[in-house]
Structure 1
Amino acid sequence: MHTVLPGGRRSWLRLAAAATVLSSHTFAAGAQTRTGAPVVRTTGGAVQGLALSSGVRAFRGIPFAAPPVRELRWKPPQPAATWQGVRLADRFADQCMQARIYSDMMFRNAGVSEDCLYLNVWAPADARPNAALPVLVYFYGGGFQAGDGSELRYDGESMAKRGIVVVTMSYRLGVFGFFSHPELTAESPQHASGDYGLMDQTAALRWVRDNVARFGGDPAKVTIAGESAGSMSVSAQMASPMAKGLFARAIGESGAVFSSSGPMATRARTEENGVRFAQAVGAPSLAALRALSATELLEMAGRQGMPRFGVNVDGYFFPQPPAEIYAAGKQARVPLLAGWNTEESSWRSLTAQSPTPDSARAVLARVFGERAGDAAQVYPAGSAAEATQSLVDLASDRFIAYSTWKWLDTHAATSAQPVYRYLYARPRPGAHGAVHSAEIEYALGNLATNHAYAWTPDDEKVSAAMQAYFANFIKTGDPNGAGLPAWPVGTAGPNGEVQRLRIDVEPHAEAEPRARYRFLERAFTSAQP
C-alpha cells in the first residue's frame, strides 16, 4: 500500500529547496537526431525519443501545457509553447511539487518543480502513424498529494508490447493543484476556483486527441485508467463536461469521487480554507500568494494544522456534485471496469485492540450507533477470525471500497453501458492480504520493476491474467478473451444478484455481497446532513 514515510516531508523539502520556479529539465531544442532514435512531429514540434531494447519506442517529458508558474499559478492549464527543430524526449520531466510522503513511490526523474506539466508515451515497436492502435492513459495515485508519471510501476513498456500506445502524465498536486480562494474565483471567467490538477489531466487528454495518431494510436480508442487518486480521477473525468468525447472506456482501481463521509466539498467551503491558509502564512492577497516561491508554498502547506486541499465542486470542472451528475446519467456513457482489493485498510484503523467478538461489537457500536445490530448482520463477529475479517472489510469499505462500489452501481444503473467488477485478492509475497495499491504491478505487467518482493510463478500467473484482462478491455471494451476464465458483466439480474471477478491465482466469478454495501448506503445516507 502507499506507505507513509516517517518524517519524510521535511527531509524531502531539503531536496525541494533546490527547485527553481522554472524547471531545470527544459530540454535542448534544435538538437541533431541520433541514428535509430525515433522522431515524431507533434502539434508543438518534433520530439526525439528512445528505442528500447524490446523495440518499444519511448518518449519522455513532452510538454502538454505551459508551465503553471507566476501568473499562471492556480489557473487552468494553458497551451504549451511550440518549438523549432527537434526536442529531446529522452528523460522524464520533474515531478510536480510534493513532499516525499510515501515510501513505495520510485521516481525516475531529477526532483520536483512547479514546471511539471509533461507526459510520456510508449509506442509499440511496429507502430506507424495512423495505425489506429488502442490507447491507455494512466493517472497515478497518491491522494492528490504525491505521485508522478515516471514511477516504475506505471511504466508503459509491457503494455506497449501488447500492441497498446501508453501515456502517463503529471498533474498539479496539493496546494498547487487544488487551492481555492475568493480572489481566484473573482478573476476566473467561469467564476470558479480549484480542481486545477483535474484540468491538467483533461489538457493531457486533449493533447492525446490531437497527437496520439502520430504515435500510432487511435484517438477514438482511448481508455483512461488509474489507481486510488488516479481512479478517483477517472471517475471525475467521466463526470466532467470538460472531458466529453476524449475517451471511449474507463478502468478504475480502488477509488471514486463518491464518498461515505458526506457530499463533496463546495467551492464556498474550500474558499474559506483558502482564506484561512493565506492568513496563516502571512500572504492575505492572491498577489502575495503568487509571490511566494514554490518551495516556500510547499513547506507552508505542510505545516501542522494547515488545511489540506483536494477536489471540490468548483462550478467549472464540476458544474454539479459528481454524484448528482452520475445519478442523472449525464456522465460519459462508456464501458467501465473497476474494483478494489481485499485489504484496502487494516483493522488497526478502527481499533487498537486485537479483534475479538467483543472488540468488534464495540467498533460497530461506535461507528453505527443504533444501527450496530444491523451492522453485525453484514459484519459478523462470531469468532476472533471472523471479527478480524469483518473489521478489515469495514475498514476497507469505509476507506475506499464503498465509494468504488457506488460508482460502479450508479454507472450501471444510468449509463446503459457494461460494467465489469472485480475483487483483487492476491497478496504480494510475504503479505497477509491484498493491500491498497498492491495490484498495480500485476495489472500493468510490471512485477520486474519492483525488487522489494521475491515474486513467484503464481505471482507471474496472476499478473499475466490480470494484464490480459485489462489489455482486452482497452482494445475492445470487454475484458474477456481466449484462455481466460469468463468475466461476467456486472449488472443486476432478475433476482438482484450481481457477479464480479475474484482475481487470484485461479480467477473466478462470484456473487458480490450486496447486502453489505446496501446497508452502508443506508447508514451513510442517514448520517449525512
Structure 2
Amino acid sequence: MRRFHAMLISAALATSAITHPAMAQTEVETHGGRVAGITEGAVLAFKGIPFAQPPVGDLRWRAPQPVDRWPGVRAADRYGPDCMQIPYKADAAPLGVKPAEDCLYLNVWKPAASAAKPRPVMVWIYGGGFVNGGSSPPVYAGTKFAEADVVFVSFNYRLGRFGFFAHPALTQEAAGAPSGNYAILDQIAALQWVRDNIAAFGGDPDNVTIFGESAGGASVHALMTTPLARGLFHKAIVLSGGGRDLMGPLQSAADAEATGSEFARTKGVEGSDGAALAALRALPADSVMSGLNLMSLFGAKDFTPLFADGQIVQKSVDDAYAAGDGAAVPIVIGANDADGFFFGGGIDAAYAPLAPVRAAAEKVYDPEGKQDAAHIGVAVSADLTFLEPARHVAKIIAGRGQPVFTYRFGYVPEYLRSKLPGALHASELPFVFDTVEVRHGAATTDRDRAAARIVHDYWVNFAKTGVPSSAAGGAWARYGPAADNIMIFDAAGARERADPIRPRLDFVEGVANAAKAASKP
C-alpha cells in the first residue's frame, strides 16, 4: 500500500484564485505545479496535465508514482499522448494524438464563470477492450459538460500488456503491494488527483461521478468493488460494462503469472529473477504490444485483463456485489439494444452444445419463426454480452437497497436507420457527450441533436442530484426487480416502461445461473 500512500502529496498549496466572468482565470495551482489552460468560449480547458510520472523504463509495470513538481507555469493547451496501442482503424472514437508509453495525463474542462459553491465533477473512463482508446478523441471533449455547469475530467490509463501484466518477478518485486492490474491503479491515481486538486478548478471533491463505457464500464465496476478506491467517488454510471465476466472467466493471479511467463518466453526471457525483469523492461514498446489490439483481442491467448490479483481485483463483478463489496453509491447501469453487433454470435454459437437449451432459445428469440438469422444473432449477442449482465448486476445492487437506475439506448441517427439493426456498441457516446455533430457531421439532423440533449441532460442531472432527469424527457424511477422497469432511449424519445425484452433476459439469466452453479466445485 505504500505506493498508494505516496500518491497523497502533503504539501500545502494555494487553491484557485477567484474568477470573474469578464476575465477568466486560466492559471490554476495544482499539487504538481501551476498550469495554464485555454479559453474555449464560456469554458476553460486544461489539457495534458500529468497525474503520475511517466511509466517508462524502471517504472514500467509499477504502480503510478507521484509527479515531480515542475517549475514555473506548465502550458496545459494540448492533449498528452494517449497510451501505447495499435490504433483500431474502425474505432468510433479515433484518437486525436499519437500514442506513447509516456501517457499518464488528464484533462479538465470547467465553466469560465465563477460560482457561489463548488460544482459537481464528472470523471470519464474510455473503453476499447483494455487494448485501445484514449482521452483525446474529439467526441470525448468535455465542453458540453462544462457548459452545463459541471467540472469534467478525462484521463489516460495504461493499455494491453502495459496495463495488465503478471510475472513471478513482478510479484516478488511488489513485496505484497498491489500489482498486475496497473490500468486500475492508474484510474485510482487519477481519482486521487481529482480528490486532491479539483477544488482548485472549482469542482467539489465530495461530489464526484465516475462513468465509463465498455472496458471503461468494466473499470467502473472494478472501482466500485475494490476497497482501494473507496471514498474517491460518490456516484457511478456503467455504459455497456457487462457484469458477468465480460472478458471471460476471471483468471487467478497464478494463471495470470503463467500467462505472463509464457509471453516472456516468446520474447526470449526466461526465469523469474531481477535479470529477467530488467530484460522485460528493456523490451521495445512495440515488442510488448506484439500485435495486440481490438482486431486480435478475442483470439489472444497471452493477454489477461482484470485478473484476480487479491487486492485490486478480488473476485468477479457479480460475486463482489453479492458479497456486499460494492461502494454504497447511486448508480446508473445500461447498454445498447444492438450492443452485441460488434461481437458476433447467434443461437447456434451460444446454445448449440446444449440441444434442449437451443430449442428453448429459438422459441424465445423467434416465437413465430419469422426472424432472419442476422437479426437473431444481434439480439443473442447483445443479451449475452451486455443486456442481461447489466440487469443481473442491477438486481443484486437493488436487492441491497441501493439506488440503481437502468436504461437501454436504442436511438439511431436518422441517416443510418435503414442500414443498422439498432444502436451499435459505443454509438450512444456522441449523445451522452452531446457531440453528435462531431461524430456524424453534416448528416446530423435536428432530431439527432434533440436526442443528444436529452440523454446528456439525464447524465448531468444524475451527477448533480443523484437522480437522472431531463425537462424534455420522462421521469426515471429507481429500478425494481419485480417491476423490471427500464428507461428506453429511442426514436420515440425517453420513457420508462416495463422491459419489453424481459422474456429474453429471463431466459439468458436462467441459462447463465445454471452454468455458473454447475461450474462451482
Give the TM interval when normalised to the shorter protein.
0.7 to 0.9
Which stretch has the larger CA shift, 185-194 or 440-449? 185-194
Corresponding residue of 2:145: 159
The letter of the residue matching 1:212 is I
Q: Supply the distance in 2 between the matched residues of 1:398 and 1:498 (Cα, whole angstroms).
A: 18
Corresponding residue of 1:112: 99
Corresponding residue of 2:515: 527
Q: Supply the distance in 1 between the matched residues of 2:392 and 2:175 (Cα, whole angstroms).
A: 33
Q: Supply the distance in 2 between the matched residues of 1:184 and 1:336 (Cα, whole angstroms).
A: 35
The letter of the residue matching 2:280 is L
Give the counterpart of 2:340 among 313, 336, 345: 345
Q: Supply the distance in 1 between the matched residues of 2:355 and 2:451 (Cα, whole angstroms).
A: 41
Deviation at 1:365, TM superposition (A): 4.8
Aligned CA distance change for structure 1 residues 450 and 57 (closer, same or farther; 3 Å)? same
Q: Supply the distance in 1 between the matched residues of 2:266 and 2:379 (Cα, whole angstroms).
A: 39
Contact 1:381 1:387 in 2 (8 A): no
What do residues 402-422 of structure 1 show as CA deviations (whole Å, max 9, x unaligned)? Answer: 3222222222122x2211111
Corresponding residue of 1:292: 283
Corresponding residue of 2:318: 323
What do residues 197-230 of structure 1 show as CA deviations (whole Å, max 9, x unaligned)? Answer: 0110110000000011110100111000011111
Show structure 1 runs of 5+ residues with no match.
1-34, 352-359
Give the counterpart of 1:101 among 88, 105, 128: 88
1:126 aligns with 2:110: no
The letter of the residue matching 1:286 is L
Question: Pairwise mapping of residues 254-273 of structure 1 onto structure 2 (< 5 A)?
Answer: 254-259=240-245, 263-273=249-259
Q: Supply the distance in 1 between the matched residues of 2:449 and 2:132 (Cα, whole angstroms).
A: 28
Q: Supply the distance in 1 between the matched residues of 2:173 and 2:250 (Cα, whole angstroms).
A: 23
Deviation at 1:76, TM superposition (A): 1.1
Corresponding residue of 2:383: 397
Deviation at 1:386, TM superposition (A): 6.7
Corresponding residue of 1:379: 365
Q: Supply the distance in 1 between the matched residues of 2:343 and 2:468 (Cα, whole angstroms).
A: 35
Give the counterpart of 2:331 among 314, 319, 336: 336
Give the counterpart of 1:185 among 171, 176, 181: 171
Give the counterpart of 1:477 among 444, 466, 477: 466
Corresponding residue of 2:437: 448
What do residues 299-334 of structure 1 show as CA deviations (whole Å, max 9, x unaligned)? Answer: 365799651231111112123443322102221011
Q: Supply the distance in 1 between the matched residues of 2:127 and 2:264 (Cα, whole angstroms).
A: 27
Give the counterpart of 2:410 among 421, 425, 438: 425
Q: Supply the distance in 1 between the matched residues of 2:142 and 2:292 (Cα, whole angstroms).
A: 33
Q: Supply the distance in 2 between the matched residues of 1:246 and 1:365 (Cα, whole angstroms).
A: 41
Q: Supply the distance in 2 between the matched residues of 1:228 and 1:196 (Cα, whole angstroms).
A: 18
The letter of the residue matching 1:426 is Y
Corresponding residue of 1:437: 426
Q: Supply the distance in 1 between the matched residues of 2:468 and 2:84 (Cα, whole angstroms).
A: 36
Aligned CA distance change for structure 1 residues 193 and 411 (closer, same or farther; 3 Å)? same
Aligned CA distance change for structure 1 residues 158 and 248 (closer, same or farther; 3 Å)? same
What do residues 368-398 of structure 1 show as CA deviations (whole Å, max 9, x unaligned)? Answer: 4332233234323423337654432111122
Question: Secondary structure, in 3 states, of the residue corresponding to 2:339?
Answer: coil
Q: Supply the distance in 2 between the matched residues of 1:387 and 1:292 (Cα, whole angstroms).
A: 46
Q: Supply the distance in 2 between the matched residues of 1:348 and 1:287 (Cα, whole angstroms).
A: 37
Q: Supply the distance in 2 between the matched residues of 1:321 and 1:481 (Cα, whole angstroms).
A: 34
What do residues 320-360 of structure 1 show as CA deviations (whole Å, max 9, x unaligned)? Answer: 44332210222101111121111112399226xxxxxxxx6
Deviation at 1:92, TM superposition (A): 0.4
Corresponding residue of 2:10: none
The letter of the residue matching 2:389 is S
Contact 1:190 1:315 in 2 (8 A): no
Aligned CA distance change for structure 1 residues 422 and 322 (closer, same or farther; 3 Å)? closer
Which stretch has the larger CA shift, 147-156 or 503-512? 503-512
Show structure 2 runs of 5+ residues with no match.
1-22, 271-275
Q: Supply the distance in 1 between the matched residues of 2:386 and 2:89 (Cα, whole angstroms).
A: 18
Q: Supply the distance in 1 between the matched residues of 2:187 and 2:349 (Cα, whole angstroms).
A: 39
Corresponding residue of 1:32: none
Give the counterpart of 2:448 among 459, 463, 477: 459
Q: Supply the distance in 1 between the matched residues of 2:439 and 2:230 (Cα, whole angstroms).
A: 36
Deviation at 1:192, TM superposition (A): 5.0
What do residues 476-508 of structure 1 show as CA deviations (whole Å, max 9, x unaligned)? Answer: 01012434211121123xxx2211111023211
Aligned CA distance change for structure 1 residues 276 and 333 (closer, same or farther; 3 Å)? same
Q: TM-score, normalised by structure 1?
A: 0.85
Contact 1:144 1:174 in 2 (8 A): yes
Aligned CA distance change for structure 1 residues 331 and 363 (closer, same or farther; 3 Å)? closer
1:78 aligns with 2:69: no
Corresponding residue of 2:129: 143
Give the counterpart of 1:66 among 53, 57, 64: 53
Q: Supply the distance in 2 between the matched residues of 1:289 and 1:261 (Cα, whole angstroms).
A: 25
Question: Secondary structure, in 3 states, of the residue corresponding to 1:113?
Answer: coil
Deviation at 1:115, TM superposition (A): 0.9
Q: How many residues align?
A: 479
Corresponding residue of 1:30: none
Question: Secondary structure, in 3 states, of the residue corresponding to 2:269?
Answer: coil
1:253 aligns with 2:239: yes
Question: Secondary structure, in 3 states, of the residue corresponding to 1:491?
Answer: coil
Which stretch has the larger CA shift, 35-44 or 73-82? 35-44
1:174 aligns with 2:165: no
Q: Supply the distance in 2 between the matched residues of 1:261 and 1:84 (Cα, whole angstroms).
A: 43
Q: Supply the distance in 2 between the matched residues of 1:509 and 1:297 (Cα, whole angstroms).
A: 47
Contact 1:191 1:315 in 2 (8 A): no
Contact 1:240 1:331 in 2 (8 A): yes
Superposed CA RMSD in Å reads 2.3
Contact 1:37 1:51 in 2 (8 A): no
1:510 aligns with 2:497: yes
Q: Supply the distance in 1 between the matched residues of 2:403 and 2:24 (Cα, whole angstroms).
A: 43
